[in-house]
Structure 1
Amino acid sequence: MTQAARTAASAQVSADSADDEPLPRRGLIFAIVSMGLFMVSVDGTVVATALTSLQRELHAGVQWGAWTITIYSLGQVLVMPLAGRISDMYGRKRVFLAAIVLFTLTSLLCGLAQNIQMLVALRAVQALGGGSIMPAASGIVSDHFGRNRDRALGMFTSIFPIGGVVGPILGGVFVTYWSWRGIFLVNVPIGMALLILGAIFFPAAVGHRGGRLDLVGSATMAATILSAMIGIAVLGDGSAWYSPGVLVPELLAVAFGWLFVRHTRRAPHPFISLHLLIGRGFGVMNVINFLYGAAAIGFGALVPLYAQERFGIPALESGTLLTARAIGMICVAGLAVAALRRTGYRFPMIVGFLLVSAGLVMMFLPPSGTSAYLWLSIAAAVTGLGMGLAVPAANNATLQFAKGQIAGVSGLRGMFRQAGSIIAVSVVTAVIAQSSTPGFSLGVSFLVLAATLIAVIPAVFLVPEHRGAW
């Protein structure tokens, strides 16, 4: 029996045994990993509304302050595929608990940081823990929900963007009523609780060992991602696209990418199989996830700035605009998950992408007969409805082809979406930095993102369709 066949057989046995597990226990496991994912997601955006207070207390410049956000995204993009692969090989419980320990410890240290350089370095380490949680947690959910794992995964992975929306609001609350340090220190009791509950209720770690960990493949892929993202981040700081700070990292990314592909074609047990990158269904979904991350996730980081620059909406109010998007997602995601076995993957993705695009266009259009705040809230809610429809389907598409590698696939999915988000935000901020009307330029960028999402719809028809349980 081949390694792939053994992995598939093991996944099927796991699904059969999971169906016999008591529902309350499965619900508790789902709650534990969901809280972990929510905590990590919130930390990706919670710093945004605390930047001014943070910079003032630590005597930091704007660029150093921005790196507390950028480095967190970079670290997550870097570690997600690695954590997914290790989870599949050596067990999800080990990776999840180790990630919780690392995330909690660095959260404590971030809250105690005495200078901005120390905080940025700690945020990079914190991101490695945070980025490892999602793929390991996805594997845990898959292992414990048997034939209902498609629905469980659809609901579980919809938590991540909701946490990202809640982050700026919580940041505003902490800064107003406590301190910017509270946004990190609050993770400590939560992380300790998750560590204890996970150690007690998660079963013994079991992996699907498939040879040694491919250190060369993981190193060259990490170098590719890191080089590419550093160049994009430098571009977002206002450097010209032809500056050495942008071109050198991007050229290094091309070189490391070539080495990664060359090594992967020859390695007996590659770090990431080329099949998961460009194989049937996987290649097109990776492109879709990248562009979706740019258009749907990336724009969220720009909405508060847009509201302030174009319409003069105060900072605290602009930070709550995305609450409407979260409400829209929550209202629709549960229904979309329940209907997924009937609708398949393509229909909800197409309708969802169209709704997100409509919301982006509405963002650009000036409000007529109503307040700017109400109009932008409605537009954000429309994008939330679209995301609630599209995300469960996009999360589950192709997973039935890799039942024994769900953590690895989840890590790649997260990597592509986060990379798309970082690139979109960096490019847009670089453009508006040179604009005399940044608010209007941001509005135009929303139109470009809407057009990008519409342009990707034909690719959805290349995604393998699937209905029913898997």
Structure 2
Amino acid sequence: MAPDSPGPIPGPEPPPSTPGGAPTAAPAQAGAPRKGLILATLCIALFVAMLDNVVVSNALPSIDRDLDAGVSGLQWVMEGYSLVFAALLLTGGTLGDRYGRRRVFLIGLGVFTAGSIACALAGSLPALIAGRAIQGVGGALLLPGSMSIIRHVFTDERERARAIGIWSGVSGAGLALGPAIGGPLVDAFGWASVFWINVPVGVAGILVGSWVLPEFAERRGRFDLPGLLLGVPAVGALVFALIEGPAQGWTSTRVLGAAALAAVALIAFVGVELRVAQPMLDLGFLRDRVIGAAIWGGFAVSFGMFGALFFLGLYMQDVLGYTPTRAGFASLPSTLAIMIAAPISGQLAGRIGPRVPLVTGLTLCGVALGGLSFYGKDASYLEFFWVLPFLGAGMGLCFTPISVAVMSRVEPARAGMASAVTNTARELGGVVGIAALGAVLTGRLSSRLTELLADEQVPADDARRIVDASTSGGGGGIGHLGAAPTPVREAATTAFMDGLHLALWTGSAMLLGSAVLVAYLMRDRPEIVVGDAVGSPAKVAA
């Protein structure tokens, strides 16, 4: 076995049981056809949840027209889901570990479906944002349960790695296919259609899942209510500050207040988790270098890729003039690469361990972002087309080994918690990436555009208004300068490209540096610290 993939932690696994204490059938007894049906059910539900995370972006102009949302309102249509999803992921994983992964997964799928119906029927902006928040609750409940069920059903390490590869490929495909599916749906059936498509899939998933999914619930003792009450505001306030920072300004009262709340709640959360017998987050397993490297890898790939892909959409639409549908279809090469690379990555992780595919994926992502920085406002699709498969392949190679590394190093009783921590890191990486790379882009855009407008002898007051308009929405304001004089539009586009290139270089450096760090941390088999059967730390030699 590869030195960076030591396999499950030694020790007997407790028999699976329901919350009432009655043992269920051992997952290893499931035959191949039933395992395939279980995996398909989990993947379909996950695909819809991931798809909906991004498909809404194509519906935003229509939502703006129908509901008079405005820029701030549209931002919360997108971020209302992410805020609740990230804040409740850890809670969802803990609830599944304690009360049953199947039960919580199906409840999450039902809540997500109900939220989709609420969104589709929304007649006002507040109703739509509320529906998106309900979807976030459902997604936070079903995602950790999905991975922990795989951890139990696929007991062979190589078989599990292949299953996680398929699961990761479906997850990545859902994220990447969102723009390609959303554009035609909105054009043909209106914005509500991007929510209605979830309903039949959700209902079918609940019916099939009730039949085929096994039940596991292995944690006992008192529920960590203090951890819940501190963990949700810690993550939620942090995500809120990162979302509002670019729009309200990093020194605004709301942003600083949210950041202060996040810091206080996080410190208190860590203090509580170190003392309770059954913590929501067992901080001991984070001391394992392999787990730490995997979680950082997930954060880094989301930081670089989701941050950069957000601005890549602005580049294709606002600079190159693509329609939303055309921009969505232009991303298909990366989608196909994700779907191909993720299962291959699962096979590699099962054979040689997660280190090589994860480091390779981070490196490919870093090189691809650097490659995009060579193209400007006059580039044709054929010129930068080659970069997109590298982006997709890099992402596909990263997703699976991250999950494999974590799932192979924690005991089954904490599989939901471990999955939730991993996915919370990914979600935070995406939010931080958009905020940080957006700050880099808008900072460079502002200074460069000020210089160019001064060269054009634009009056200072007018120049300030143009700069403010261009930097709104993380640089997306340049798409609203169509009525401006040609020199102003040209200056704004040039400044945007300068800012975009700097943001791409920043993301590339982050990814390449993370590849080196992950390669170093996963170089051997360190001693690891995990929770024992009652939640207290226990040192084990890997």
Partner SS for 1:320? helix
Contact 2:47–2:174 (Cα < 8 Å) also in 1: yes
Bigger shift: residues 301-310 or 78-87: 301-310
Could you say what the CA RMSD is over the residues aligned between the two structures, in angstroms?
A: 2.5
Gaps of 5+ in 1: none
User: Would the alpha carbon gap of residues 198 and 74 (structure 1) be closer, same or farther in structure 2, given more than 3 Å must change?
Assistant: same
Alignment of 1:144-163 (within 5 A): 144-147=153-156, 148-163=159-174
CA distance in 2, matches of 1:408, 1:243: 34
The alpha carbon displacement at 1:339 in A equals: 2.2
The superposition leaves residues 303-335 of structure 1 with CA deviations (integer Å, 9 ceiling, x where unpaired) of 211223343333332222321111112222222
Q: Is the 8 A contact 1:102 1:126 kept in 2?
A: yes
Distance in 1 separating the partners of 2:440 and 2:406: 36
- Runs of 4+ aligned residues of structure 1 deviating over 6 Å after TM superposition are 4-7
Out of 451, 454, 463, the position equivalent to 2:522 is 463
Residue in 1 aligned with 2:207? 196
Separation in 2, partners of 1:35, 1:346: 28
Q: Is the 8 A contact 1:306 1:443 kept in 2?
A: no
For residue 107 of structure 1, the aligned residue among 116, 121, 141 is 116
1:273-422 aligned at under 5 Å gives the runs 273-366=282-375, 372-404=380-412, 405-422=414-431
The 8 Å contact of residues 15 and 146 in structure 1, kept in 2 or not, is answered as no
- Measure the CA separation in 2 of the matches of 1:306 and 1:278: 40
**For the residues of structure 1 that align with 2:65 and 2:270, how far apart are their CA atoms?**
45
Residue 301 of structure 2 aligns to a residue whose secondary structure is: helix
Return 375-384 or 71-80, whichever deviates more: 375-384
Tell me by how many angstroms 1:277 deviates: 3.5
> Equivalent residue for 1:83?
92
Q: What does residue 96 of structure 1 align with?
A: 105
Structure 2: which amino acid aligns with 1:396? V
The one-character-per-residue Cα deviations of 1:370-403 (angstroms, maximum 9, x if unpaired) are 9521233321211111122222112211322213
Between the aligned partners of 2:285 and 2:103, the Cα distance in structure 1 is 24
Q: Does structure 2 conserve the Cα–Cα contact (< 8 Å) formed by 1:16 and 1:146? A: no
State the partner residue of 1:447: 505
CA distance in 1, matches of 2:286, 2:86: 15
TM-score w.r.t. length of structure 1: 0.92
Mapped to 2, the partners of 1:233 and 1:251 lie a distance apart of 15
Matched, 1:209 2:267: no
* 1:103-126 residue CA offsets vs partner (Å, 9 max, x unmatched): 111111110001111111221111
- Structure having the higher helix fraction is 1
Shift of 1:28: 0.9
Which residue number in structure 2 is paired with residue 8 of structure 1? Answer: 13
* C-alpha deviation, 1:10, in angstroms: 3.7
Query: Of the two, which has the highest radius of gyration?
Result: 2
Q: Cα deviation per residue 1:67-126 (whole Å; 9 max; x = unaligned)? A: 111111111111111111111122111001101111111111110001111111221111
The 5 Å alignment of 1:159-170 reads 159-170=170-181
- Are 2:496 and 1:438 equivalent residues in the alignment? yes
How many residues matched? 460
Q: Deviations over 1:210-258 (max 9, x none)?
A: 3122010121111110111111111132x32222222111111111111
Unaligned runs of at least 5 residues, structure 2: 1-8, 17-22, 450-494, 526-541
CA contact (8 A) 1:328 1:385 kept: yes
Matched residues in 2 for 1:15 and 1:364: separation?
Answer: 54
Question: 1 CA distance for matches of 2:25 and 2:346?
Answer: 21
The amino acid across from 2:221 in the alignment is: G
Equivalent residue for 1:218? 228
Which amino acid is the alignment partner of residue 459 of structure 1? Answer: L
Number of the residue aligned with 2:195: 184
> How much does 1:164 deviate?
0.8
Give, in whole Å, the separation in 1 of the partners of 2:341 and 2:24: 27
Render the CA deviation track for 1:116-170: whole Å, top value 9, x for unaligned: 1111122111111012211111112222222122321232133222201111111
Q: Which amino acid aligns with 1:164?
A: L
Q: Is the Cα contact below 8 Å between 2:109 and 2:206 reproduced in 1?
A: yes
- Provide closer, same or farther for how the CA distance between residues 16 and 192 of structure 1 changes in structure 2, counting only shifts above 3 A: closer
Report the Cα distance in structure 2 between the residues aligned to 1:442 and 1:215, rounded to whole angstroms: 44
Which has the higher mean CA deviation after the structures are superposed, 73-82 or 392-401? 392-401
Q: Could you tell which deviates more after superposition, 261-270 or 36-45?
A: 261-270
- CA spacing shift, 1:327–1:450, aligned 2, 3 Å: same
CA–CA separation in structure 2 for the residues paired with 1:164 and 1:425: 16
Counterpart of 2:500 in structure 1: which amino acid?
A: L
- Per the TM alignment, residue 429 of structure 1 is displaced from its structure 2 partner at its CA by 3.3
DSSP 3-state at the match of 2:191: coil
SS at match of 2:408: helix
SS in 2 for 1:8: coil
In structure 1, distance between residues paired with 2:31 and 2:297: 37
Report the equivalent of 2:33.
24
CA drift at 1:439: 3.4
Maintained 8 Å contact 2:161/2:404: yes
Amino acid at match of 2:503: S
CA distance in 2, matches of 1:285, 1:378: 28
Normalising to structure 2: TM-score of the pair? 0.80
Look up the equivalent residue of 1:379 and give its one-letter code: V
Between the aligned partners of 2:331 and 2:90, the Cα distance in structure 1 is: 29
1:464, distance to aligned residue in structure 2 (A): 6.6
- Indicate which of 246, 260, 263 corresponds to 2:269: 260
